[in-house]
Amino acid sequence: MEVRDLRYSVAGRTLLDGVNLLLPAGRSLAVTGPSGSGKSTLLNCVLGLIRCDEGEVVVAGRDLTTLTPRSLARHRRSTVGMVFQFGELLPELTPVENVALAALLAGVKRDEAFGRARRLLTDLGVPVGGTPTAELSGGERQRAAVARALVNQPQLLLADEPTGSLDAQNREAVADLLFSLPEQWGCAVLVVTHDTSVAARAHGCFTLHEGKLLSQGSAAESRPTLAEGRGR
């Protein structure tokens, strides 16, 4: 993913004021910042849900700002996975059904969709029986949300406050899982979080401040190659 000179204003306020970010496959980045600084807005630009005023957003080789709504939706389905703070799963469906549904909507055949869902959930330690998702623990639900984001084998995984609703133990487990994905799956991971201990696990960390991304380095700085960002 590459974001070039992104600018976006809303209600007379400049939220993104020339944001640049480069996130290669197999690397992770965290973005922190005060409430209201525009972090979710940045993710929505990367998802193509918000059209920026200026700049480019390149995901898996295509500039989203040039795509029609239909091609944008198709490109997003095939390249991006998203994890939300509260999982946003359908509570009455089982975890397998929730995860398989994302694959079915992307055009995967039924047997393959359910097979992928069961395998992923088993790998991530989520029960694959008939229990409705509403009955799972917070950590299990969030791991199921990660499985749903991964089911279409995305090149880019985005997460907005993925540990915000979890207790300390589950926060650790979900953060471990998310930041293991670049190595395990080769995808790029971009996480927005208030939690500095979660952010410190990323290859690179930025703070969004007055529309600019400021590099914070990372506790993972000892790793040989940082995910690159050109924030300042």
Ligand X SMILES: Nc1ncnc2c1ncn2[C@@H]1O[C@H](COP(=O)(O)OP(=O)(O)OP(=O)(O)O)[C@@H](O)[C@H]1O
Q: Which amino acid is at 89?
A: L
Whole-number minimum distance, CB 166 to ligand X, in Å? 16
The contacts of residue 161 (CB under 8 Å, 6+ apart) are 84, 85, 192, 193, 194
Helix locations, the chain, DSSP H: 39-47, 69-79, 95-105, 110-123, 138-150, 168-185, 196-199
Binding site for ligand X (CB under 6 A): 10-11, 15, 33, 35-41
Is 118 or 209 the residue whose CB approaches ligand X more closely? 209
Is 11 or 168 the residue whose CB approaches ligand X more closely? 11
3-state secondary structure of 214: strand
Whole-number minimum distance, CB 36 to ligand X, in Å? 4
Is 95 or 231 the residue whose CB approaches ligand X more closely? 231
Is 31 or 187 the residue whose CB approaches ligand X more closely? 31
Whole-number minimum distance, CB 90 to ligand X, in Å? 23
Beta carbons within 10 angstroms of residue 215's beta carbon: 15
Whole-number minimum distance, CB 196 to ligand X, in Å? 14
